[in-house]
Amino acid sequence: GQQVMQIPQYQHVQEGEDFTTYCNSSTTLSNIQWYKQRPGGHPVFLIQLVKSGEVKKQKRLTFQFGEAKKNSSLHITATQTTDVGTYFCAGEVVDSSNTGKLIFGQGTTLQVKP
Amino acid sequence: DAGITQSPRHKVTETGTPVTLRCHQTENHRYMYWYRQDPGHGLRLIHYSYGVKDTDKGEVSDGYSVSRSKTEDFLLTLESATSSQTSVYFCATSVLTDTQYFGPGTRLTVL
């Protein structure tokens, strides 16, 4: 079936270090979304990428969508303790039914040591 | 955050009993989703709805049913709960097929 693989599963960094999580889909995506879930919380939408090769920035966060629309990455520059949480990518598969169904990656849990 | 509530927030039940989880939204969003979250699996779609009385299966629908009789309510029913259905359940809504807004979650334990 359609899958979205996300690596790494866990990442521990020292505060101030950079962090990257990668997402790969087995099929072409119409768009990819990123969500953040704080410990004990619910997923919260961060961003959506739609165009091939698209790059978007939110302060210290940089999101990329691959040229083939099958992979994506999230890079955090100079991590802070507030960045702690699990980051999920979620792809919407190219589908004529337009249901909005997302396939989530397994998530990358980021721990930041102060 | 969108006005999404889930009830109950925590439930402990026994194997074989029926369980219904409720998702209520005040945003008039057309699309609603039920996910389960388990360690190492991320979020997996159980069922979704694209309008009142319009529902369809997700990737892990076995053992679950849903109903949506009103725009604001989406019910998830476990007809006969099993221990493998112990999980955290999240409801989500969206206006179109874009940003999904998640509820606070329901932690279900099946003994």
Helix (H, G, I), strand (E, B) or coil at A82: helix
Residue (of B30, B24, B20) closest to B6 by Cα position: B24
pLDDT of residue A96: 44
**Residue B6 pLDDT class (50, 70, 90 cuts):** very high
Of A17-21, A94-98, B12-16, the least confident: A94-98
- B5: chain A residues, CB-CB within 8 Å: none
**pLDDT tens, position by position, A31-41:** 999 999 999 99
The residues spanned by each domain of chain B are 4-110
- B97: chain A residues, CB-CB within 8 Å: 92, 98-100
Evaluate if residue B1 carries a pLDDT over 80: no
Q: Across the interface, do B42 and A106 touch by the CB < 8 Å criterion?
A: yes
**pLDDT tens, position by position, A56-105:** 999 999 999 999 999 999 999 999 999 999 999 999 877 645 567 889 99
Q: Is A6 exposed, middle or buried (0-12, 13-18, 19+ CB in 10 A)?
A: buried
- B102: chain A residues, CB-CB within 8 Å: 42-44
Q: In Å, what is the CA distance from A97 to each residue of A69, B7, B67, B91?
A: 19, 30, 20, 21
Distance, in Å, from the CA atom of B23 to the CA atom of B33, rounded to the nearest integer, reads: 9
Residue B41, C-beta contacts closer than 8 angstroms, at least 6 positions apart: A106
Domain coverage including residue A25: 4-113
CATH code of the domain covering residue A37: 2.60.40.10
pLDDT of residue B39: 86
Residue B39, C-beta contacts closer than 8 angstroms, at least 6 positions apart: none
pLDDT of residue A112: 97
Q: What is the CA radius of gyration of chain A?
A: 14
Dihedral sign for Cα A45, A50, A55, A57, please: negative
Element containing residue A53 per DSSP (H, E): none
Residues B89/B23, Cβ–Cβ less than 8 Å: no
What's the total number of domains in chain A?
Answer: 1
- A34 vs B: CB within 8 A: no
pLDDT of residue B47: 96
- B43 vs A: CB within 8 A: yes
Write the single-letter amino acid at B56. Answer: D
> Average pLDDT over chain B, rounded to whole?
94
Residue A2, C-beta contacts closer than 8 angstroms, at least 6 positions apart: A25, A26, A27, A93, A103
> Average pLDDT over chain A, rounded to whole?
93
Residue (of B87, B3, B98) closest to B43 by Cα position: B87
Candidate from B59, B97, B103 with C-beta closest to A1: B59
- B15 vs A: CB within 8 A: no
According to CATH, what is the number of the domain B4-110?
2.60.40.10
Phi and psi at B85, nearest 5°, equal -95, 5
Write the single-letter amino acid at B12. Answer: V
Q: Mean per-residue pLDDT for B76-100?
A: 94
- E strands, A38-77, where? 44-49, 55-58, 61-65, 71-76
- B98: chain A residues, CB-CB within 8 Å: 31, 33, 48, 100
